[in-house]
Amino acid sequence: MEEEEEQQQQQKKGKKKYYSIIVPTYNERLNIALLVYLIFKHLRDVDFEIIVVDDGSPDGTQEVVKQLQEVYGEDRILLRARPRKMGLGTAYSHGLKHASGDFIIIMDADLSHHPKYLPSFIRKQQETGASIVTGTRYVRGGGVHGWNLMRKLTSRGANVLAQTLLWPGVSDLTGSFRLYQRSVLEDVINSCVSKGYVFQMEMIVRASRKGYHIEEVPVTFVDRVFGSSKLGGSEIVEYLKGLVYLLLTT
């Protein structure tokens, strides 16, 4: 199995720029098929693969992904499951091990990150040579749809607090819709210690401290339609702990 994957990776690297899209999932049966359809729709002229890292979803997410493999091919849809929930950071590391792309795109499975923005990410990277292109809700053209006022204030407040303390040079620290040069992601991810929602903030802060070229693309974040949000009080506490940790260590 590993030998076959390595051969496929070598074949893909011989082509034009290749993109690996890593999508962590947990109970996303109702969203994953539409997400995959939209990715294929908006990236018709791009060479890419989708790597689904599912953490043992009990709702049948993996069965849907296997059906998608029958439609699009196992070389385009890779299911790389894990037995249980093990954290967002390790999900990206796991997906990266199986990725063939020169560039890695990370995005959520719940349709909050619309694939229509992917061409603008790719175009921005090609125009600027950026190491990282990150989606931002907090510049002209970006925004949030479907959140109540309290959640908007919480998100904005978290970003303002982080901006004030860490000065990372980007406007949206907690977003998780990004494109990385593969070597940059490998470098940054190895320097991170966070496992949960703090991981995204740590990734971009450490990348900034390392001097990588970061560009932003405005995106509108849409609250999930199906399923329940996985963000709760414990994640907010972890965010604040992570903020202090980064303040002391970067």
Q: What is the pLDDT of residue 195?
A: 66
What pLDDT was estimated at residue 8?
58
pLDDT-derived band at 87 (thresholds 50, 70, 90) equals confident
- Residue 94: what pLDDT? 94
Q: What is the mean pLDDT of residues 201-229?
A: 82
Average pLDDT of 91-108? Answer: 95
Residue with tokens 């796991």: 94
Model confidence at 198, in pLDDT bands (50, 70, 90)? confident
- The answer to whether residues 128 and 46 touch, using CB atoms and an 8 Å cutoff, is no
Closest CA relative to residue 24, chosen from 82, 101, 71, 100: 82
Q: Give residues with Cβ within 8 angstroms of 213, minimum separation 6.
A: 128, 129, 130, 131, 132
- Whether 62 contacts 32, CB under 8 Å: no
Q: Spell 177-191 as b/e; 16+ CB within 10 A means b.
A: bbbbbbebbebbbee
Residue 174: per-residue pLDDT: 77
Strand-pairing partners, residue 49, are 20
pLDDT, averaged across the chain = 84
Structure-token pair, residue 101: 């792309």
Given this model, what pLDDT does residue 152 score? 59
pLDDT classification of 44: cutoffs 50, 70, 90: very high
3-state secondary structure of 155: helix
Q: Reply yes or no on whether the pLDDT at 153 is more than 70.
A: no
Residue 230 has pLDDT above 60, yes or no: no
Contact 65, 54 (CB under 8 A): yes
- Domains observed in the chain: 2-249 (3.90.550.10)
pLDDT of residue 180: 98
- State yes or no: pLDDT of 211 exceeds 60: yes
**pLDDT exceeds cutoff 80 at 10:** no
pLDDT at 104 over 70: yes
- Asked whether the predicted pLDDT for residue 130 surpasses 70, the reply is yes
- Report the interhelical angle of 118-128 vs 32-42 (nearest 10°): 50
> Per-residue pLDDT for 108 more than 70?
yes
Please tell me the distance from the alpha carbon of residue 159 to that of residue 144, in angstroms, as a whole number. 14
In the predicted model, what is the mean pLDDT of residues 232-247? 63
In the block, tokens 């720029």 appear at: 17
The neighbour count for residue 72, using CB atoms within 10 Å, is 16
Give the range with max mean pLDDT: 29-38, 133-142, 162-171, 219-228: 29-38
Question: Which of 98, 80, 109 is closest to 177 using CA atoms?
Answer: 109
Mean pLDDT of the 173-190 span: 92
